[in-house]
Amino acid sequence: MKTVLITGANKGIGFETAKQLLAQGYFVFLGSRNASNGKEAEEQLKAIDLTNVAAIELDVTDINSINKAKVLLENKLSALDVLINNAGIPGNQPQNISTCDMANLREIFETNYFGVIQTTQQFLPLLRKAEAPSIINVSSEVGSLTMHTTPGRNTNWDNYHAYGSSKTALNTFTVMLANELSNTNFRVNSVTPGYTATDLNNFQGIKTVEQGAKAVVNLVNQPLPGTTGKFFKEDGEILW
Protein backbone atom coordinates (compact mmCIF):
# COMPACT_ATOMS: atom_id res chain seq x y z
CA MET A 1 0.00 0.00 0.00
CA LYS A 2 1.52 3.31 -1.08
CA THR A 3 1.71 6.09 1.47
CA VAL A 4 0.89 9.76 1.01
CA LEU A 5 1.41 12.79 3.25
CA ILE A 6 -0.75 15.82 2.47
CA THR A 7 -0.16 19.11 4.24
CA GLY A 8 -3.18 21.27 5.01
CA ALA A 9 -5.39 18.21 4.58
CA ASN A 10 -8.12 18.81 7.13
CA LYS A 11 -10.25 20.81 4.67
CA GLY A 12 -10.63 22.00 1.09
CA ILE A 13 -8.49 20.63 -1.72
CA GLY A 14 -6.27 18.72 0.71
CA PHE A 15 -9.18 16.91 2.33
CA GLU A 16 -10.83 16.05 -0.98
CA THR A 17 -7.51 14.83 -2.40
CA ALA A 18 -7.15 12.56 0.61
CA LYS A 19 -10.70 11.30 0.13
CA GLN A 20 -10.12 10.39 -3.51
CA LEU A 21 -6.74 8.75 -2.85
CA LEU A 22 -8.14 6.71 0.03
CA ALA A 23 -10.88 5.42 -2.26
CA GLN A 24 -8.13 4.29 -4.65
CA GLY A 25 -6.28 2.27 -2.00
CA TYR A 26 -3.60 4.62 -0.69
CA PHE A 27 -2.76 5.12 2.99
CA VAL A 28 -3.01 8.85 3.66
CA PHE A 29 -1.58 10.96 6.46
CA LEU A 30 -3.59 14.14 6.96
CA GLY A 31 -1.22 16.95 7.88
CA SER A 32 -3.03 19.58 9.90
CA ARG A 33 -1.71 22.66 11.71
CA ASN A 34 -4.38 22.13 14.36
CA ALA A 35 -4.39 18.63 15.85
CA SER A 36 -8.10 18.61 16.75
CA ASN A 37 -9.10 19.74 13.25
CA GLY A 38 -6.98 16.98 11.78
CA LYS A 39 -8.55 14.37 14.05
CA GLU A 40 -12.03 15.58 13.12
CA ALA A 41 -11.15 15.22 9.41
CA GLU A 42 -9.82 11.72 10.08
CA GLU A 43 -13.07 10.71 11.78
CA GLN A 44 -15.13 12.12 8.92
CA LEU A 45 -13.30 9.89 6.47
CA LYS A 46 -13.49 6.82 8.68
CA ALA A 47 -17.23 7.39 9.01
CA ILE A 48 -17.58 6.71 5.27
CA ASP A 49 -15.39 3.57 5.49
CA LEU A 50 -12.17 5.22 4.33
CA THR A 51 -10.13 3.78 7.17
CA ASN A 52 -6.53 3.81 5.95
CA VAL A 53 -6.02 7.32 7.23
CA ALA A 54 -4.31 9.01 10.15
CA ALA A 55 -4.15 12.65 11.15
CA ILE A 56 -0.77 14.12 11.99
CA GLU A 57 -0.09 17.52 13.52
CA LEU A 58 2.05 19.49 11.09
CA ASP A 59 2.48 23.25 10.89
CA VAL A 60 4.60 24.01 7.83
CA THR A 61 5.70 27.35 9.29
CA ASP A 62 7.11 25.70 12.44
CA ILE A 63 10.29 23.65 11.99
CA ASN A 64 9.78 21.94 15.36
CA SER A 65 6.32 20.81 14.30
CA ILE A 66 7.71 19.51 11.00
CA ASN A 67 10.48 17.61 12.78
CA LYS A 68 8.02 15.99 15.19
CA ALA A 69 5.88 14.86 12.26
CA LYS A 70 8.95 13.54 10.48
CA VAL A 71 10.05 11.47 13.47
CA LEU A 72 6.52 10.13 13.90
CA LEU A 73 6.37 8.94 10.29
CA GLU A 74 9.90 7.56 10.39
CA ASN A 75 8.80 5.36 13.29
CA LYS A 76 5.76 4.17 11.35
CA LEU A 77 7.01 3.80 7.78
CA SER A 78 9.86 2.25 5.88
CA ALA A 79 9.32 4.80 3.11
CA LEU A 80 7.05 7.67 2.08
CA ASP A 81 5.85 7.44 -1.52
CA VAL A 82 4.22 10.83 -2.06
CA LEU A 83 4.48 14.26 -0.44
CA ILE A 84 1.75 16.71 -1.45
CA ASN A 85 2.61 20.25 -0.37
CA ASN A 86 -0.93 21.57 -0.28
CA ALA A 87 -1.00 23.91 2.74
CA GLY A 88 -1.38 27.52 1.64
CA ILE A 89 -2.92 30.84 2.58
CA PRO A 90 -4.38 33.60 0.35
CA GLY A 91 -3.27 36.55 2.47
CA ASN A 92 -5.23 39.68 3.25
CA GLN A 93 -6.65 42.18 0.78
CA PRO A 94 -5.68 44.53 -0.76
CA GLN A 95 -2.42 43.08 -2.06
CA ASN A 96 -1.52 45.05 -5.18
CA ILE A 97 2.24 44.73 -5.39
CA SER A 98 2.84 48.50 -5.47
CA THR A 99 1.16 49.09 -2.12
CA CYS A 100 0.78 45.73 -0.34
CA ASP A 101 1.64 45.52 3.32
CA MET A 102 5.04 43.88 3.74
CA ALA A 103 3.97 41.96 6.83
CA ASN A 104 1.15 40.45 4.77
CA LEU A 105 3.56 39.55 1.96
CA ARG A 106 6.00 37.92 4.36
CA GLU A 107 3.24 35.93 6.04
CA ILE A 108 2.05 34.59 2.68
CA PHE A 109 5.56 33.55 1.69
CA GLU A 110 6.16 31.96 5.10
CA THR A 111 3.47 29.39 4.39
CA ASN A 112 3.31 29.15 0.61
CA TYR A 113 7.04 29.16 -0.12
CA PHE A 114 9.34 28.78 2.90
CA GLY A 115 6.95 26.32 4.51
CA VAL A 116 6.98 24.10 1.45
CA ILE A 117 10.77 24.11 1.24
CA GLN A 118 11.44 23.29 4.87
CA THR A 119 8.76 20.58 4.90
CA THR A 120 10.22 19.00 1.77
CA GLN A 121 13.76 19.14 3.12
CA GLN A 122 12.78 17.29 6.29
CA PHE A 123 10.88 14.53 4.49
CA LEU A 124 13.38 13.95 1.68
CA PRO A 125 15.22 11.15 3.55
CA LEU A 126 12.00 9.16 3.98
CA LEU A 127 10.99 9.84 0.38
CA ARG A 128 14.39 8.63 -0.87
CA LYS A 129 13.54 5.19 0.50
CA ALA A 130 10.56 4.83 -1.83
CA GLU A 131 10.80 3.08 -5.18
CA ALA A 132 9.41 6.03 -7.15
CA PRO A 133 8.96 9.01 -4.83
CA SER A 134 6.82 11.94 -5.91
CA ILE A 135 6.72 15.52 -4.62
CA ILE A 136 3.69 17.53 -5.72
CA ASN A 137 3.49 21.25 -5.03
CA VAL A 138 -0.04 22.65 -5.19
CA SER A 139 0.31 25.93 -7.08
CA SER A 140 -2.03 28.21 -9.06
CA GLU A 141 -2.46 29.72 -12.50
CA VAL A 142 -1.99 33.05 -10.73
CA GLY A 143 1.66 32.04 -10.40
CA SER A 144 2.13 31.54 -14.15
CA LEU A 145 4.28 34.33 -15.60
CA THR A 146 3.28 33.25 -19.10
CA MET A 147 -0.40 33.71 -18.35
CA HIS A 148 0.28 37.06 -16.68
CA THR A 149 2.00 38.31 -19.84
CA THR A 150 -0.45 36.90 -22.38
CA PRO A 151 -2.96 39.22 -24.11
CA GLY A 152 -6.41 38.79 -22.67
CA ARG A 153 -5.14 37.83 -19.22
CA ASN A 154 -7.60 37.82 -16.33
CA THR A 155 -7.37 41.32 -14.83
CA ASN A 156 -8.95 40.03 -11.62
CA TRP A 157 -5.54 38.50 -10.91
CA ASP A 158 -4.31 42.00 -10.02
CA ASN A 159 -6.11 41.48 -6.72
CA TYR A 160 -3.76 38.60 -5.90
CA HIS A 161 -0.30 39.98 -6.57
CA ALA A 162 1.16 38.85 -3.24
CA TYR A 163 -0.45 35.42 -3.38
CA GLY A 164 0.50 35.00 -7.04
CA SER A 165 4.10 35.98 -6.34
CA SER A 166 4.33 33.24 -3.71
CA LYS A 167 3.08 30.68 -6.22
CA THR A 168 5.57 31.88 -8.84
CA ALA A 169 8.30 31.37 -6.25
CA LEU A 170 6.87 27.93 -5.46
CA ASN A 171 7.06 27.01 -9.14
CA THR A 172 10.69 28.09 -9.17
CA PHE A 173 11.35 25.74 -6.26
CA THR A 174 9.68 22.93 -8.22
CA VAL A 175 11.97 23.44 -11.22
CA MET A 176 15.14 23.79 -9.16
CA LEU A 177 14.44 20.71 -7.04
CA ALA A 178 13.45 18.69 -10.10
CA ASN A 179 16.75 19.65 -11.75
CA GLU A 180 18.72 18.79 -8.62
CA LEU A 181 17.07 15.36 -8.44
CA SER A 182 17.01 14.74 -12.20
CA ASN A 183 19.39 11.78 -12.02
CA THR A 184 17.30 10.01 -9.40
CA ASN A 185 13.93 8.25 -9.38
CA PHE A 186 12.16 11.36 -8.02
CA ARG A 187 9.32 13.14 -9.76
CA VAL A 188 8.85 16.77 -8.70
CA ASN A 189 5.99 18.78 -10.20
CA SER A 190 3.63 21.69 -9.63
CA VAL A 191 -0.11 21.37 -10.14
CA THR A 192 -2.99 23.83 -10.21
CA PRO A 193 -6.46 22.72 -9.12
CA GLY A 194 -7.93 25.74 -10.93
CA TYR A 195 -10.32 28.29 -9.47
CA THR A 196 -11.94 25.98 -6.95
CA ALA A 197 -14.59 26.91 -4.40
CA THR A 198 -12.91 26.66 -0.99
CA ASP A 199 -12.62 28.90 2.04
CA LEU A 200 -9.36 30.19 0.56
CA ASN A 201 -11.48 32.28 -1.84
CA ASN A 202 -14.68 32.48 0.24
CA PHE A 203 -16.13 29.69 -1.91
CA GLN A 204 -16.28 31.90 -4.99
CA GLY A 205 -14.42 29.46 -7.25
CA ILE A 206 -16.15 28.02 -10.31
CA LYS A 207 -14.92 24.44 -9.77
CA THR A 208 -16.03 22.03 -7.07
CA VAL A 209 -13.45 20.58 -4.68
CA GLU A 210 -14.02 17.22 -6.38
CA GLN A 211 -13.01 18.75 -9.71
CA GLY A 212 -10.11 20.68 -8.23
CA ALA A 213 -8.64 17.70 -6.39
CA LYS A 214 -8.77 15.58 -9.54
CA ALA A 215 -5.79 17.44 -10.99
CA VAL A 216 -3.71 16.53 -7.93
CA VAL A 217 -4.91 12.93 -7.89
CA ASN A 218 -4.13 12.54 -11.59
CA LEU A 219 -0.55 13.61 -10.91
CA VAL A 220 -0.21 11.14 -8.02
CA ASN A 221 -1.32 8.41 -10.42
CA GLN A 222 0.97 9.49 -13.26
CA PRO A 223 2.25 6.30 -14.96
CA LEU A 224 5.92 5.54 -14.37
CA PRO A 225 8.52 6.67 -15.18
CA GLY A 226 6.42 9.84 -15.28
CA THR A 227 7.40 13.45 -15.85
CA THR A 228 9.37 15.76 -13.61
CA GLY A 229 9.90 19.51 -13.51
CA LYS A 230 6.54 20.38 -15.08
CA PHE A 231 3.43 22.41 -14.24
CA PHE A 232 0.13 20.55 -14.64
CA LYS A 233 -3.59 21.21 -14.66
CA GLU A 234 -6.34 18.61 -14.85
CA ASP A 235 -6.18 18.14 -18.62
CA GLY A 236 -2.45 18.57 -19.29
CA GLU A 237 0.47 20.92 -18.86
CA ILE A 238 0.36 24.65 -18.17
CA LEU A 239 3.11 27.09 -19.12
CA TRP A 240 5.34 28.53 -16.41
Catalytic residues: 163, 167
- Backbone phi and psi for residue 235, each to the nearest 5 degrees, phi listed first: -110, 20
Query: What span, in angstroms and rounded, lies between the C-alpha atoms of 162 and 231?
Result: 20
User: 21 Cβ partners below 8 Å, 6+ apart?
Assistant: 4, 28, 217, 220
Burial category of 25 from C-beta neighbours within 10 Å (exposed 0-12, middle 13-18, buried 19 and up): exposed
Characterise 203 by phi-psi region: left (phi > 0), alpha (psi -120 to 50), beta (else): left
